[in-house]
Amino acid sequence: MQRTNGARVSRARKRTGLATAAALATGALTLSLLPATGASAADEPGSAWGKDAPSFSMPPVKVGTNKPTAPQAEAKPSDEVARWRAQQKERARGGKAAAARVAAAEIPPHVPEGQGDVPWHRISNFAITDALTARINYSTGNLMLTATDFSIAGVGQELTLARTYNSLDAPWGKVSQRWWQQYERYLQLLDDEVVLYDASGDTLRYKKASDGSYTTPKGYSKELKKNTDGTYTVTNWKTHTKDTYNEHGTLTKVTDKNKGTITIDQ
């Protein structure tokens, strides 16, 4: 009797479990077959700027006047700076003979720094027009304006005439004191070093070693070498271009990586 009752209880439990599972399956099937109900009005997208949006009044705007600061004259330059500026003015004014005389003359010890496109400085650029860009050097406060007068595409390098304005002291160009054309770059020859005034007016100082070679300044990829004929070559290892300067330091030729050349007569 006990075994019989146990068997009956077991069969009853099985029937109850099967009935429960069937009810759950039927409920799930019913829910899946029900059509989807539309979203409530509260769930619909809305905008605070619609027809029923509240009106907002514009707060009053305070009107005032701005008074510009009084202009201040530039402080009198030191004797070294004055001599350097006078030399730059003479060089920009003259032609080949004047450039040779200035290059061979006594060089003032002053060399401006911080102007031009310094590689490791943080510089912010913004376009003023399609041919004029303003560049602010956060490291020195120098304002540069870079302008492209014309650009002619070629098989190799482009023939471009560009110029740079520096608010800090920079080499004097033939256009004006502050505007410096890219092909006006030159070498200033000293006994113990050579100073390169680059395309943007930046200055690179190459110290002369005991063996006659020149040490490239830190942070730059432009190598200076004096050739056997007395000329100089500056190789840019980033662009693989070479600038050739005559024995007075005047730029005469630009050679690209494919050996295409641009000859400069100045």
Q: What is the mean pLDDT of residues 198-211?
A: 94
For residue 80, give the H/E element and its range.
Answer: helix 79-93
The phi-psi region of residue 102 (left if phi > 0; otherwise alpha if psi is between -120 and 50; otherwise beta) is alpha
- Residue 27 pLDDT: 47
Residues 134 and 125 sit within 8 Å (Cβ to Cβ): yes
Query: Residues 158-188: pLDDT tens digits?
Result: 888 999 999 999 999 888 888 999 999 999 9
- Residue 50 pLDDT: 66
Would you say residue 37 lies in a domain? Answer: no
Report the domain count for the chain. Answer: 1
What is the chain's mean pLDDT, rounded?
81
Would you say residue 145 lies in a domain? Answer: yes
Would you say residue 4 lies in a domain? Answer: no
pLDDT band at 41 (very low <50, low <70, confident <90, very high): low
Residues 119 and 137 sit within 8 Å (Cβ to Cβ): no
Would you say residue 95 lies in a domain? Answer: yes
DSSP-based three-state secondary structure for 233: strand
Tallying the residues shown for the chain, one arrives at: 266
- Residue 32 pLDDT: 47
CA 62 to chain centre: 39
pLDDT of 154 over the 80 cut:
no
- Residue 30 pLDDT: 47
More confident position, 135 or 69: 135
Would you say residue 214 lies in a domain? Answer: yes
More confident position, 40 or 121: 121
Would you say residue 193 lies in a domain? Answer: yes
Considering the chain, what percentage of its residues have pLDDT values greater than 90?
48
Would you say residue 236 lies in a domain? Answer: yes
Phi/psi for 203 (5° steps) reads -115, 130
- Residue 232 pLDDT: 98
pLDDT of 24 over the 80 cut:
no
Would you say residue 139 lies in a domain? Answer: yes
- Residue 62 pLDDT: 83
Domain extent at residue 207: 79-263
More confident position, 52 or 144: 144
DSSP-based three-state secondary structure for 166: strand
User: What is the pTM for the complete model shown?
Assistant: 0.69
pLDDT of 31 over the 50 cut:
no
Query: Residues 61-104: pLDDT tens digits?
Result: 888 888 888 888 888 989 999 999 988 888 888 765 455 555 54
